Structure formats: structure tokens, C-alpha cells
Structure 1
Amino acid sequence: MKSLVLSIALLIGGCSMIPSFWDDNESWSVAKIRHSVDTLNCSGNYESQVNILVSDIRFLQLYSESKGSDDLSEMISPMMDTAMGLQKMTVNETFCKLKKKQLVKQSAIIADAAMERF
């Protein structure tokens, strides 16, 4: 009997440590952001592409905050800062490539967190 109570307590305690559960909308939004980052073309005028990217990140940020996904919200803020820095900078191919590399890493981390939920 004691082992049953202990097992249930551990199960309940373990489940409370799960930050949030699978959400189709978050997963779709993360995939859309990864696609926007992947297709970002740094040669020429990339301003409109970055504006769309910032809008997509903002959507995910607002959705995650509204849903209460604190784990994603914490990861989205640095990515938003990176994208906003790219948005504010005048067209500069080298700067864009450096920021894109950082955005690729950040979006991959967020995708791992969002897609590996259950």
C-alpha cells in the first residue's frame, strides 16, 4: 500500500514538472518561423522578409503568453530581440548573414522545445 501511494505521489509530482503540452497552433507557428528564417535572402533588400518574420514571431509570442506556455515565452524573447535588431538595421548583407545564423539556431531550439511535447 505504501508503495502504491509513493508511486502515485511521484507520478503526480513528475507530471507537474511538465511545462506545457502539445499544441498544434504553436507547432505550426514555430514551423512557419523556421521556414521564414530559412528562406531569408540577405542579398538585396530583405526588409519585407524581416517584417514578416517579426510578425510571425510576435504571433507566437502572443499566443504562447495567452496560453500560458512560459517555457516557450522565455525562448521567444531573445529571438524577437535578434529579429528586431535586424529590422532596425539598414540593409547590410554581412550583418544580415550573422543575424540569420543566430536566428537559425534560436528557431531550432524553440522547435525542439515545441515539437517534443506530448
Structure 2
Amino acid sequence: MQYQYDSDNYSRTSVAERVVRLASGSAVVIFSISSCCMCHAVKSLFCGMGVHPTVYELDQDPRGKEIERALTRLLGAGSALPVVFIGGRLVGAMDRVMALHINGTLVPLLKEAGALWL
């Protein structure tokens, strides 16, 4: 797992543009809160599959609350975290990731994004 802290100048881009840029930076990107058990579970799922996601811990980012609000708007849901992007595309929160895993479509999606080789 690669933990990131993005220190770019926030005034140059909107928060929504930053989310899109960050989400496109790696094959698998997880926006997380370090103390959240659901976030830990989704990170463990990917690591257990041999995927090395880029993780943005929003509670360690000075502007993390702004990013969290942007993700909530993007999802159109109450609780946004964790939020997963695969291949730069929004997958969704924990429920969506688990649904893809259970129905067998998560692995092909990860392979298509170049996050999983086998």
C-alpha cells in the first residue's frame, strides 16, 4: 500500500478537479480515514489480493474534510468513506466494492486497470 499526502496548492484547482486528478494517478486509489474500520477492511481486501493501492488518508490531510465533502457529492450518499477508484473510474464505497468482489467482477476490473496480473 502506498500512502500519499498531496500538498499541491489548493487554490490552483477546485477540490472536485483534485479528486479526479488524484483518482487517476494510480490503478487503484482509496480515499480513507485511518481510524475507520470499513476503510481498513477495503484496504485489507485489496492487499490480500496482491493489489497495492494508493491510499489518501483524509484525516491526515489538512484539507481532507473538503475532499470528503466532494466525494460525498460525487457518490450522492451520506457516508462516503472509503471511496475506491479503479483505473481512474469511480467504483464507489465499501458496499459496491464488496458486491463486485462477491459477484466475481472485481478481479477482471483490476486486471483491466493493470492492478492485478494473475
Task: Compare the two structures and name the one with the higher helix fraction.
Answer: 1
TM-score by length of 2: 0.29
Q: Which has the larger radius of gyration?
A: 1
Task: Compare the two structures and name the one with the higher strand fraction.
Answer: 2
